[in-house]
Amino acid sequence: MVNYVSKVNITRVLRTIYLKQGLSRVEISKILDLNKSTVSKIVSLLEEIGIVETAAVGDAGPTGGRRPLQLRICSNWGCIMGVEIQTEAFTVVGINLQGDVFFSHTEALDLRKTSLVDAFADIVRRFRPGLEATGMPLLGIGVGLPGFVDPLRGVLRASMPFEHFEEIAFVRESRAKLGFSLPILVDNDANCGCWGELAFRYSERTRNFVFVLGELRKHTIAMDDYRIMALGLGLVLNGHVHHGDDYSAGEFRSILYKSHQVNQFSVTDEQARQFLQNPEVDGLIVEELSRHLAFLINVLNLRKVVIGGQMEILTEDISTAVRGFVRTNWAYPEEVNCEIEVSRLGEQAVAYGAAGMYLEHLIEIPDVNGRTRQGMPCGIDLLPPKYRETADM
């Protein structure tokens, strides 16, 4: 077994190369305060595995000597599958280790005719061969689901959209159904949007932001004729996705919500069904949402708001409204610095972020138990078994 110190140092080196590609061994040793021989040994190991490669040969120093080898992640060493499952459709993406999307597909799905686990297993069986036909083996799978998700146990605790109010041991049952031990990570759909924003920002990472996921879909799997705007929030605080003690952080219902309504805002349900079709209704929802976002920005000192899903077409209106409410509710002369932007993958943001969740855990420094802060597997423990054995230093 790899001892704890070795496991941490291997992951530290891998993380450093991932976040700042083009560094030499000497530069890595200075950044991490590790001796050069330790860094060289780890880099040689990562090169032997194949996940790290030489990007270029740098210039020699002023006194000459050996020219440094600049290192980078081998982008096509393996691939990750990201999956979003919602009330009426699923989306699957394939990405390489640089986050480049080389495959995407969206298709209708009726969860009244199959179970959630069966549907997921069918998706993996259908699309894994195509992803691996590129020559990149599948390293892991990330999944985004609506509702309360416990990512530590891999459990869907409850989901109003799926009409499930008893726990589903999603990861355990999926592995049993598929018959393999590849890592499967699962989280709430809006949280997956957060993972996508974290995973592929290399040099400058915003440490405090909110991801707004606004999707036009069936309210629940049984409501065929009731497509409505569904909104969820994901929070990143101090660089970490915030789940809350009960994994319900980000569940949204307006403080102006009127009881006995289906939609999450103060507009009538009939108005809510006109979302993205009636500019007047869009304006009402944008104003109400923007007041909530401005409150969060000021109270939590957030630096960014990211809009994902179909709601992204309203980003300009949301930005104008949010900035106005932030100024109105801010008591100090200094302006609040908060960017408002569109998610890079738009309607694929959840599936893309779910894949990014695997990458983020792969480069997360393990604690003394070899786990993340939340207790999930991370670092080289997420590599396929044959590579973990190679890493026995």
Per-domain boundaries in the chain = 4-73, 79-192+350-390, 204-344
Domain 4-73 sits in CATH at 1.10.10.10
What ranges make up the beta strands (E) of 130-202? 138-145, 148-150, 155-158, 184-188
Q: What confidence score (pLDDT) does residue 259 get?
A: 85
Q: Which residue has the tokens 């007041």?
A: 291
∠ CA 265-268-274 to the nearest 5 degrees? 90
> CATH number for the 204-344 domain, one of 3.30.365.10, 3.40.50.2000, 3.30.420.40, 3.40.50.360?
3.30.420.40
- Calpha distance 382→183 (Å, rounded): 6
Residue type (1 letter), 110:
D
∠ CA 136-138-139 to the nearest 5 degrees? 115
Nearest to 156 by CA among 189, 128, 112, 178: 189
Q: What confidence score (pLDDT) does residue 227 get?
A: 77
Across the beta sheet with 138-145, the strand order is 101-108, 89-95, 79-85, 138-145, 184-188
- Which residues, in sequence order, are CB contacts of 6 under 8 Å at separation 6+? 391, 393
Structure tokens at 358: 């695997």
Cβ neighbours of 269 (radius 10 Å): 15
Q: What confidence score (pLDDT) does residue 56 get?
A: 64
Could you give the 3-state DSSP secondary structure of residue 306?
strand
Q: What confidence score (pLDDT) does residue 4 get?
A: 66
Q: How does 102-140 read in b/e, with b if 16+ C-beta sit within 10 Å?
A: eebeeeebebeeeebbebbbebbeebbeebeeeebebbb
Nearest to 221 by CA among 313, 86, 25: 86
Structure tokens at 209: 């932001």
Residue type (1 letter), 42:
I
The model carries a pTM of 0.91
Q: Which residue has the tokens 């409150």?
A: 295
Note whether 18 and 51 are within 8 A (CB): no
- Calpha distance 64→317 (Å, rounded): 57
Cβ neighbours of 365 (radius 10 Å): 15
State which fold the 79-192+350-390 domain adopts: Nucleotidyltransferase; domain 5 (3.30.420)
Asked if 79-192+350-390 and 204-344 have one fold, the answer is yes
- Calpha distance 213→196 (Å, rounded): 12
- Calpha distance 216→210 (Å, rounded): 20
With residues binned 3-state (H G I as helix, E B as strand, rest as coil), the percentages for the chain, rounded to 5, are: 35, 25, 40
pLDDT tens across the length of the chain (393 residues): 456 678 889 999 999 999 998 999 999 999 999 999 999 999 999 999 999 999 865 444 444 445 568 999 999 999 999 999 999 999 999 999 999 999 999 999 999 999 999 999 999 999 999 999 999 999 999 999 999 999 999 999 999 999 999 999 999 999 999 998 899 999 999 999 999 999 887 667 899 999 999 988 888 888 776 778 889 999 999 999 999 999 999 999 999 998 888 899 999 999 988 999 999 999 999 999 999 999 999 999 999 999 999 999 999 999 999 999 999 999 999 999 999 999 987 889 999 999 999 999 999 988 766 566 566 778 888 887 777 666 554
Helix and strand tally (H, E) in the chain? 11, 14
Note whether 239 and 199 are within 8 A (CB): no
